[in-house]
Amino acid sequence: MHSWQEAIDKAVAACGGQAALARHLGMPRQHVSSARVGQRPIPKDRLPEMATLIDEDPARLWELQEIANLPRRNPFSRTDEPRLGA
């Protein structure tokens, strides 16, 4: 697993869609969509469930999610500059 987006895509495929993954994780579908692009994290208590779906270590998913969310949380990031990975 190389990226958070790849992890989300794999979990979406395993469940049959974003809405199905959201139901499986007990969260709104929009949260899954936002999480995929680093705008909202998936709660860490739900990462083990997602990890089981895609046969991945929950700690690795947490790391990937943190990396994906860095640009959003960077207090020095300017909104008029391109974001990393965008």
The domain 4-73 having CATH identifier 1.10.260: the answer here is yes
Confidence check: pLDDT of 79 > 90: no
Dump pLDDT digits (tens) for 5-54.
999 999 999 999 999 999 999 999 999 999 998 889 999 999 999 999 99
Looking up tokens 């929950």 gives 58
User: pTM of the prediction?
Assistant: 0.80
How far from the centroid of its chain's Cα atoms is residue 30's Cα? Answer: 12
Q: What pLDDT shows up at residue 3?
A: 93
Q: What residues contact 41, with CB distance under 8 A and at least 6 apart? A: 35, 65, 69
List the chain domain ranges: 4-73
pLDDT digits (tens, 9 = 90+) for 52-62: 999 999 999 99
Provide the residue type at 69 as one letter: N
